[in-house]
Amino acid sequence: MAALLGLRRYALHIATVLALGLVLAAAGWSAANEREAAIDDLSHEQAVLATAVAAVFEHRLADRASRESGTEPPPRGPLTDVEAIELLGGARRLEDRGELMVLVARPGERGFLTTDARVIPSMRLHAAAEARASTVTLPRDEAVSFGLPPRRAVAGIATVSPTEVAGERPRGRWTVVVMASTARVRSREDHEERRLAVTVFVAAAVVTAFGALARRRQRAALEIERRTAIAIVEGEKDAALARAEKMAALAALSTGIAHEVGTPLSVIVGRVEQVLARVPDDERARQALGIVVEQVERIQRIVRGCLALARGEAPLLVRASPEKLAERAVDLVRHRFDKADVVLVIRADADLPEVSCDPSLFEQALVNVLLNACHASPPGSEVVLSVSPAGRHALFAVEDEGSGISPDVAEQATEPFFSTRREQGGSGLGLTIAREIVTHHGGELTIGRREDRSGTRATLTVLIA
């Protein structure tokens, strides 16, 4: 595993070296091909030269023969080596020490006469001449035996027609050879190869350097990204912590308030009951006192529910009709809407399934959202509370026709103590409490700008029973 990781880490370096090797191998292959082509050209040139030299040699040989058979005095006998060299004439000037040499072989003989009168035997040259080949390549050791550098040599071969020469035995074809060393081709190719290798290495070095630079930059960019991500996560954690702290403070506060409110509420109920006993015949007074008791009991229920939530307990769930929940919440806030001259309507889908909730608490959440809509509504406008099914939930949506809510405010709206209505007495707890209630019911609270027109849309969901 560790070896695999190590390999992966150096994969780029390995790939670079492999690519370099491939480029060099391809360059070497192409250079070798070029060298062979250059040697072929060199062979061809030697064949042409040999033909030209052989033509001159043949002409001179014929000239000598005619003198021997003619009236000219006296025949000089068999052709000596020196004479044969002379017959090559100006062709000797072609020679270049250590690079190019002209040779001639008597008919049928394996020894090749050099222009400095050495006779060097070569089976290879002889066989090629016999086979009427125009070129032949000689290996290094044979090239050396002719006095050429230790490199391959190429020879152009031409044969000269037999001429009747007195005293020449046996009759046959003279062979003229022009032999050149490939040393120069080789050294030129070596130079080319070195130049190519240097070019490839310089290119590779430049690419590697740029690659390293790019990698360093990429690493730096990744590091910045990583730090930014960490900063964001830490920021989110801080925000969550601050929120949790506020929620804890809120829970402590509400527990305290619930405790303090409990006693006066019990006193109120006790006193009302005493008064009720004294007015057995006054029906209007009894009705009014009945409402007081009802509302006090409601306050007690909500306080108990909030206390339970603050302690982290689950709400006491019962089956309830969503339409009824909406109606009771609307009843509780109706007088506020009337006072503000805002129309409040309920639009509930028919045959809505029952939901599972603590009705007093859920109604309170709806009340908080409805009151916000009322505060945001201009006189004469309308607020709609609609109820509809949404998958496993029932969805309560409150839409007003106010000036709407900015994304920034919407994001913070459910934070404890966040309020843009401080001067009007806003505590910034309405949506916090509503969200807590909804979340404890397995639902969700959202708030944002209306899409169809100016205004705000807040939604609360609660699980279907």
Ligand X SMILES: Nc1ncnc2c1ncn2[C@@H]1O[C@H](COP(=O)(O)OP(=O)(O)OP(=O)(O)O)[C@@H](O)[C@H]1O
Nearer to ligand X, 100 or 385 (CB): 385
| Residue 364 near which of ligand X, Mg ion, none (CB within 5-8 Å, type-dependent) | none
- CA 80 to CA 319: how far, in whole Å? 136
- CA 160 to CA 3: how far, in whole Å? 73
Classify residue 83 by burial, with Cβ atoms within 10 Å: 0-12, 13-18, 19+.
middle
Nearer to Mg ion, 48 or 418 (CB): 418
Maximum distance among all Cα pairs of the chain, rounded to whole angstroms: 184
For 454, phi then psi, to 5°, come to -70, 145
Number of residues that bind ligand X (CB under 6 A): 21
Nearer to ligand X, 143 or 434 (CB): 434
Look at the alpha carbons of 207, 211, 217, 221 in this order and tell me if their dihedral is positive or negative: positive
Phi-psi region of 404 (alpha: psi -120 to 50; beta: other; left: phi over 0): left
Nearer to ligand X, 143 or 373 (CB): 373
Q: Is the peptide bond before 315 cis (omega within 30 degrees of 0)?
A: no
Among 418, 446, 449, 463, binds ligand X (CB under 6 A): 418
Q: What share of residues in the chain are helix, strand, coil (percent, to 5)?
A: 60, 15, 25
- Going by their DSSP bridges, the two strands 382-390 and 393-399 should be labelled as antiparallel
Q: Which residues pair with 119 in a beta bridge?
A: 113
Say whether residue 372 binds ligand X (CB under 6 A). Answer: yes
Contacts of 37 (CB under 8 A, 6+ apart): none
In the complex, least distance from residue 395 CB atom to ligand X, rounded to whole angstroms: 17
In the complex, least distance from residue 366 CB atom to Mg ion, rounded to whole angstroms: 12
Say whether residue 430 binds ligand X (CB under 6 A). Answer: yes
Nearer to Mg ion, 159 or 372 (CB): 372
Site for ligand X in 339-368 (CB under 6 A): 368
Nearer to Mg ion, 181 or 432 (CB): 432
Say whether residue 427 binds ligand X (CB under 6 A). Answer: yes
441, 320 Cβ separation under 8 angstroms: no
Site for ligand X in 43-62 (CB under 6 A): none
Contacts of 42 (CB under 8 A, 6+ apart): 154, 180, 182, 185
In the complex, least distance from residue 417 CB atom to ligand X, rounded to whole angstroms: 8
Angle, alpha carbons 102-187-195 (nearest 5°): 155
Which part of the chain contacts ligand X (CB under 6 A), choosing from 66-74, 326-334, 347-355, 402-410? 402-410
| Residue 228 near which of ligand X, Mg ion, none (CB within 5-8 Å, type-dependent) | none
Concatenated DSSP letters of 102-124: EEEE-TT-SEEEETTS-EEE-HH
| Residue 401 near which of ligand X, Mg ion, none (CB within 5-8 Å, type-dependent) | none
Residues that bind Mg ion (CB under 5 A): 372, 430
In the complex, least distance from residue 301 CB atom to ligand X, rounded to whole angstroms: 20
Say whether residue 376 binds ligand X (CB under 6 A). Answer: yes
Residue nearest to ligand X (CB): 430
Nearer to ligand X, 47 or 445 (CB): 445
Say whether residue 373 binds ligand X (CB under 6 A). Answer: yes
Say whether residue 400 binds ligand X (CB under 6 A). Answer: yes
Say whether residue 129 binds ligand X (CB under 6 A). Answer: no
In the complex, least distance from residue 374 CB atom to Mg ion, rounded to whole angstroms: 9
- CA 147 to CA 98: how far, in whole Å? 7
Say whether residue 405 binds ligand X (CB under 6 A). Answer: yes
State the residue for tokens 């880490």.
9
Nearer to ligand X, 373 or 387 (CB): 373
Say whether residue 30 binds ligand X (CB under 6 A). Answer: no
- CA 40 to CA 134: how far, in whole Å? 12
Nearer to ligand X, 228 or 403 (CB): 403
Which part of the chain contacts ligand X (CB under 6 A), choosing from 54-62, 122-130, 315-323, 428-436? 428-436
Classify residue 350 by burial, with Cβ atoms within 10 Å: 0-12, 13-18, 19+.
exposed
| Footprint on this chain of ligand X (rule: CB under 6 A) | 368, 372-373, 376, 400, 402, 405, 409, 413, 418-421, 426-432, 456
